[in-house]
A and B are shown apart, each in its own frame.
Chain A
Amino acid sequence: MSDGPFPALPLQGARFEGAVLVEELAPGGQVSIRGDLADTTFAEAVTAQAGCAMPGIWQISGTPERGLLWMSPDELLLLLPRAEAAEAARALQARLDAAAVHALVLDVSDARARFRLTGPHLREVMARLTPADMAPGAFPVGHLRRTRLAQVAAAVVHVAEGDMQVLCFRSVADYTFRLLSGAAAPGAELAYF
């Protein structure tokens, strides 16, 4: 949207340096896709659009910049550059409609806030807030969990060891940032996993 109005980040790029670093990222382009994940026509259209394979259950395929997140048994989230999102959503919906595949594709690039957390003992930081199992065996790199952080819904994406991303709804960006900053407060380090 180089020639259009400039989109504002929910928290204007908030940042907290504690036991781990918490940074707000630009949400990027996000396209919500609902459909029958086992349908090959659906899968072909989606993977062609995404440029990566279908993700396994609780997993991410591709990269956080251009990839597919497994969101639920009938839902994926396509991550891509923001400038491409609206057209990608339109094109994918058109392709699926043309193939008579029942699916819902929507550009939701503005619906969520996105945070990146990097640093040591990140699993412990997240385990303060999410009831999902953060142990290495249960939550390896390349996995994601749709879960809750304290009182709000969120997705936690495990990008690399010591590097995670959190997606939450835009309206609770401030709450989530405070939560993450609190859990990452220095002096509260815990080495459990």
Chain B
Amino acid sequence: MSLRLSTGGRFTDRSREIRFSFDGTTLTGHPGDTLASALLANDRLLVGRSFKYHRPRGIVASGAEEPNALVGLGQGPRFEPNQRATTTELFDGLVAESQNRWPSLDRDIGAVNVALSRFLPAGFYYKTFLWPRAFWKHVYEPVIRRAAGLGRAPHPESRDADSYEHFHVFTDVLVIGGGVAGLMAAKSAAATGAEVLLIEQSPHWGGRAPVDGGTIEGEAPEAWVHRTLAELDALPNLRRVARLMGAGVHDHGYVLGYERLTDHAPGQPGPRHRLWRIRARQIVTATGAIERPLSFAGNDLPGVMLASAMRDYVVNYGVAPGQRTVIVTNNDDGYRTALALHRAGLDVPAILDARPMGGGALAAEAREAGLRIEPGRAVAKVLGGKRVTGVATCLAEGTGAVLEEIACDAVAMAGGWSPVVHLWSHCGGKLTWDAAGAFFRPDPARPATGADGAAMVHAAGAANGELHLSTLLQDAATAGKNAAAACGFTAADISVPQGEDTPEAPLDPIWIMPRKATPDLRMKAFLDYQNDVKLSDVQLAAREGYESVEHAKRYTTLGMATDQGKLSNINGLAVLSDTLGQAIPQVGTTTFRPPYTPISMGAIAGEARGEIFQPLRRTPLHSWHEANGADWEPVGQWRRPYCYRRTGEDRHAAVAREVTAARTSLGLLDASTLGKIVVKGPDAGRFLDMLYTNMMSTLPVGKCRYGLMCSENGFLIDDGVVARLAEDTWLCHTTTGGADRIHAHMEDWLQCEWWDWQVYTANVTEEFAQIAVVGPKARALLEKLGGMDVSREALPFMTWAEGTLGGFPVRVFRISFSGELSYEVALPANLGRAFWDRLLKEGAQWQPTHYGTEALHVLRAEKGFIMIGDETDGTVIPQDLGLGWAISKKKADYLGKRAQERSFMASPERWQLVGLETLDGSVLPTGALALAPGKNANGQRNTQGRVTSSYRSPTLGRGIAMGLVRHGPDRMGEELVFTTEDYDAADEAATTVKARIVSPVFYDPEGKKNDV
């Protein structure tokens, strides 16, 4: 059984006891424990069920690489699945639950999958669920999705109780990793004067060295760590932050860091996580190394653990994962664990060293301590069900014939180390195979490079393949110095301390244990714990032709779980290469992608949630609309009133009332969102002639003209009224959604193409409130306000004037998007609300009716005015819309002209704008298609037109629509058959509606109403 030792624990505070619960049982631990160490201290070996076979699983590791011990953490709005117990700091009141088991961890029904495992090989899903095809979507996928996955997602209606934030910093050198190599690299970089930021994912500094031993400058590593931290803290140019993981290295030295501020103390004020967005000129990755498991049958039983993790638990937490531990190793490091356990008073009945000649100095030390060493031996299989009860040993080079059974309650496996090369690799750093250590290490000749083509990332220490103190410190010092030098800082002379550790005998890679293991053993030897990928699966994939490591990965799912194969990747590709008969470097690795370990969605979102998920743009009249029944609709990032509902009114009734008021008396519209761009300069006229399809240079000062803008490809992108303010100055109105886009379009052409033209633009959309005063009483209201002449003679249709109205400084445009007598009044935004209030007050005798965007749409549709985004969809040219009158034939060029002359654009077969009237007066669905006889090459029904916008016209008392129809303008009076929303080809009579082609101008075709 696992238990708390009577002494020890570098990180734990034994003077205090804290309580937590696991699967409903209350347990105790100490401050400084991780959830994993506390579970072990309570003999909770079984912590979860595996993904595919529901096998019982225990804690394997002690850090970020843990594949098994994933729990659901917290409750209610703080519940989070898939949290690693090994990196979860224990706090009083922690609540955790195990995952992927039902009804309970001990009695799990899904475990029947284990018995079926020979029928669930690699690619099982691909092979099995191919047929019948329709079953995938409706039967197989839902069932598989329910069975798969580890943790459960939080309840969809729960809202994260915590807050999150981003933080942007710049630094010269970023050192990722706070072990002895990170400290050394940071010290060396900071000594040059460079700004250094040193980050460490765990709460502790010093990394593995204090556990693994050796000396630095003749003292214990921990003493050196304390001394060095004090030195670093005295430096003004160095900052260090713990609990901050380097999550990803991106282009141009952009690094994402993930800081966990209150995970260990929930409910404290302040953000839970902080996403650091770091711009580093140079990066040092001192991310250490991860020990590899060995692949023997039963290596996933609770009680089998990485040897290094086992001594971490003993030294750091004073917890013994077992009382009798068999060590199985292929290198000298396994002996460190044997000695650590022995020193802690725990039994080590045997050390199985797969190497025929056994180990070096550490082995000798173990032998002197009286430990039994068995060279050339391996584990044939682990004995036990839900926990280890013993191991069966065999010859390392054999097939697994059992030589002896040794009773034990834990197995420590030491398969050699792999440098954590993830962050080195994220941005393109390449690796090289180190045959002696049997690992991939950063290739210094092929680092990730910055904009200048020079190295941007430097690996240091164990992350660079320098696993021993004797060489690691010098390596890290050099990395730090080089990084600072690349930022232009001159190296300072600092003395690099001498590290010493016990020399080690060479490792003997043994990827399959025993080397000639029989198939039944290979089917029980797990490579990827989290995704349940076994030795036999990878070998099967290789035999089935998955030779590329990337293909084999996806076929077997090796390394595709939430741990991204931190323990399994090297073992898996070694087995693949072994089966393929290729050298490991030829097979290569899969791609390392950020983040290093999963980061919270909250951290990614930062402040963007709730009210500020997105910016919501408000006009100067927004709060008035809000207080007066506005039924909002989003228009770009603005909110505009769709209509204003009175008590008892539905949307349709409100829109009808608003339209009628504008037609018969007085309507008011907040048009502030319209884009307003001032264009000025000696070349401004020429510039606008290029931008618009018609002439703007000939527009007289004081007049307005409607204009169309096309893209280079000829398609209509925006429209609006242009007013000429002065000889060299124009004001261009754009659509609401077009303001920023068209301004950028203008600057693009000015800055990139016509950079020598003398034109300045300014987007003054936000400067003005703009209010449309619409209807037969519009003039009477403005005259009542007084201050300027707004008569037909002084201010005719399509002119503008500046002056005052009721004391407000205004610019009045005599333009109409409704067909009625209409003035658009622009004035400084901060006066907009006061002016609006005045209009309502002074207009009271005519019952001024504020109207929304839907009434605006109906009014314009009754007049046959097109709407960008309704009649246009990016494939429509002005000629399609009967707007030939707004296209200059005289101009040599304008944007879109050449495109519009191409054969397809000039084709008479293009669908063209017409009005549509249903025979029965009903409203056509927007987007309805006009049916044509026959079917096309794809067996689809032919069509000959579509509805682009459709409304109930309160003015005409019937449905009206606009649409694009083949040869439309030549077919006036013809009837077409349109689909309805529930169109059914088998029953066209009941699911279509007939409409007649008419002029798109339904109301006041002579334009008498607005020219009064």
Contact = CB atoms under 8 A, between A and B. Distances in A.
B144 interface: no
Contacts of A32: 762
B620 to A, nearest CB: 7
Contacts of B239: 192
Report which residue of B166, B606, B615, B638 has the largest number of chain A beta carbons within 10 angstroms of its beta carbon. B615
A4 B612 CA distance: 35
B760 A102 contact: yes
A9 B828 CA distance: 12
Interface string A165-193: 00001111111001100110111111010
Given A6-B834, A110-B829, A187-B269, A102 B808 contact: no
What secondary structure prevails in chain A residues at the interface with B?
Answer: loop
B762 A34 contact: yes
Contact of A111 (B165, B607, B638, B829): B829
Given A4-B807, A171-B617, A175-B615, A128 B680 contact: no
B140 interface: no
Interface residues of B, number: 49
B607 A150 contact: yes
B618 A171 contact: yes
A173 B764 CA distance: 16
A29 to B, nearest CB: 11
A6 B780 CA distance: 25
Interface stretch (A50-58, A59-67, A133-141, A155-163): A133-141
Contacts of A128: 165-168, 607
Contact of B807 (A5, A9, A188): A5
A103 B615 contact: no
A112 B166 CA distance: 25
B760 A34 contact: yes
13 contacts: A8-B620, A10-B620, A106-B762, A110-B829, A111-B766, A133-B169, A135-B170, A150-B608, A169-B766, A170-B620, A182-B165, A187-B270, A188-B269
A190 B271 CA distance: 11
A5 B607 CA distance: 38
Per DSSP, chain B at the interface is mixed
A102 B828 contact: no
B791 to A, nearest CB: 24
Contact of B831 (A7, A111, A133, A178): A7
B678 A7 contact: no
B165 A110 contact: no
Given A5-B831, A150-B607, 5 more contacts: A4-B807, A6-B834, A8-B831, A111-B767, A150-B612
A182 B612 contact: yes
Nearest to B613: A151
> 6 closest pairs, A vs B, by CB?
A187-B269, A7-B830, A104-B760, A171-B617, A110-B829, A111-B767
B767 A103 contact: no
Contact of B612 (A112, A127, A134, A178): A178
A131 interface: yes
Interface residues of A, number: 55
A175 B639 CA distance: 13
A134 B829 CA distance: 32
A32 B765 CA distance: 13
B758 interface: yes
B280 to A, nearest CB: 12
Interface string A109-120: 111100000000
Nearest to A34: B760
A152 interface: yes
B616 interface: yes
Contacts of B807: 4-5
B703 interface: no
Interface in B581-627: 606-608, 611-612, 614-620
A113 to B, nearest CB: 9
Interface in A91-110: 102-104, 106-110
Nearest to B269: A187
A107 B811 CA distance: 14
Interface in B825-850: 828-831, 833-835
Contacts of B616: 172, 174-175
Interface in A1-56: 4-10, 27, 32, 34-35
A185 B669 CA distance: 38
A76 B269 CA distance: 42
A104 B747 CA distance: 14
Contacts of B618: 171-174
B682 interface: yes
Contacts of A74: 760
A103 B766 contact: no
Contacts of B614: 151
Nearest to A3: B807
Contact of A104 (B615, B681, B831, B833): B681
A35 B762 CA distance: 12
Nearest to B608: A150
A8 B833 contact: yes
B809 interface: yes
Nearest to B833: A8
Interface in B673-704: 678, 680-682
Nearest to B607: A182
Nearest to A178: B612
B14 interface: no
A39 to B, nearest CB: 12
A104 B828 contact: no
Contact of A102 (B163, B270, B682): B682
A3 to B, nearest CB: 8
Contacts of B620: 8, 10, 170
B681 A102 contact: yes
A174 B764 CA distance: 19
A110 B167 contact: no
B277 interface: yes
A171 B681 contact: no
A110 B611 contact: no
Contacts of B835: 5
Contacts of B834: 5-8
B169 A110 contact: no
Contacts of A8: 620, 830-831, 833-834
B143 to A, nearest CB: 41
Contacts of B682: 102
Interface string B754-771: 000010111010111000
Contact of B270 (A4, A9, A106, A188): A188
B828 A7 contact: yes
Given A150-B612, A192-B239, A110 B271 contact: no
A173 B766 CA distance: 11
A104 B269 contact: no
B740 to A, nearest CB: 10
B836 to A, nearest CB: 11
A104 B680 contact: yes
A104 B471 CA distance: 65
Contact of A129 (B607, B619, B829, B830): B607
Contact of B828 (A103, A109, A133): A109
Nearest to A12: B623
Contacts of B619: 171
B840 to A, nearest CB: 15
Contacts of A192: 167, 169, 239
Contacts of B764: 106, 108, 111
A118 to B, nearest CB: 21
B754 to A, nearest CB: 14
Contact of A179 (B271, B612, B829): B612
B810 to A, nearest CB: 11
Contacts of B271: 188
Contacts of B607: 128-129, 150, 179, 182-183
B767 A108 contact: yes
Contact of A103 (B612, B760, B831): B760
A45 to B, nearest CB: 15
Given A8-B834, A173-B618, A127 B608 contact: no
Nearest to A151: B615
